[in-house]
Homo-oligomer: A and B are copies of this chain.
Amino acid sequence: MEFIFHYPSFVTILDFIGTFAFAISGIRLASAKRFDWFGAYVVGLATAIGGGTIRDVLLDVTPAWMLDPMYLICTAMAMFFVILFGRYVIRLNNTFFIFDTIGLALFTVVGFSKAYDLGYPFWVAIIMGSITGAAGGVIRDIFINEIPLIFRKEIYAMACAIGGLIYWFCLVAGLESHWSQVIGGMSVFIVRILAVRYQITLPILKGEETEEKE
């Protein structure tokens, strides 16, 4: 009973941290484009819940934020945080990077589990994990009229895919669901941290260099 109470609350805290960090990332980029408060809130919200919403629409279940006002409230808190401490937010860049990566790891695990538990094959679950983690950032970049960052820079969505694959390996190897989640999530976290620390990037696709000459 004790455990049942503590376990969800731990996940809820992680979910809150991830949502907060994702919302901050959207609000910061919106403020750099001189959006008004409403626009910044919408971009923050879309960054935080966009991936999960696309996943839930594809899985044909009700989007999580329509069942729990936590996501809206958490985004509002991120908004007030940026309004109050805007000029200090940049100095906290490393802190937010850790939060953002925790969010990425957790969102990936949530997305994978949700699809897998509905009976979809592992490759659908991996894609759903990656969509949950990374699609919010794509929507954010479309809203601020930039080429989505994840297509050009850093191991980001790839970390979700790798973590999802490891999660699945754990399940296939017979590990308990709970431990598979922890290991899958840790994998996302570690892959992302290592990639940024050692500036590991994927190769640029250069098949079309001649096109620019045309």
- A77-110 with Cβ < 8 A to chain B: 82-83, 85-87, 89-90
Question: Cβ of A174 < 8 Å from any Cβ of B?
Answer: no
Bound-complex Cα distance A85 to B143 (A): 32
Contact with B along A179-214 (1 / 0, CB 8 A): 000000000000000000000011111111111100
Residues of B within 8 Å of A66, CB to CB, are 58, 120, 124
- The stretch among A12-20, A35-43, A164-172 that forms the contact with chain B is A35-43
Asked if A35 meets B207 with Cβ closer than 8 Å, knowing A147-B145, A151-B43, the reply is: no
Question: Cβ of A53 < 8 Å from any Cβ of B?
Answer: yes
Contacting pair B58 A90 (CB below 8 A): no
Chain B: CB-nearest residue to A39: B151
Contact with B along A141-178 (1 / 0, CB 8 A): 01111111011110001100000000000000000000
**Closest CB-CB distance, A42 to chain B, in whole Å?**
6
Size category, A interface: 35 or more
Contacting pair B143 A86 (CB below 8 A): no
Interface of A is mostly: helix
Asked if A205 meets B35 with Cβ closer than 8 Å, knowing A30-B151, A145-B146, the reply is: yes
Bound-complex Cα distance A37 to B155 (A): 11
**Closest CB-CB distance, A87 to chain B, in whole Å?**
6
Contacting pair B152 A39 (CB below 8 A): yes
Residues of B within 8 Å of A74, CB to CB, are none
**Closest CB-CB distance, A136 to chain B, in whole Å?**
14
Residues of B within 8 Å of A138, CB to CB, are 143
Bound-complex Cα distance A52 to B148 (A): 22
- A33-78 with Cβ < 8 A to chain B: 33-40, 42-43, 53, 57-58, 60, 62-63, 66, 69, 72
Contact with B along A116-145 (1 / 0, CB 8 A): 000011011001000000000010001111
Contacting pair A63 B72 (CB below 8 A): no
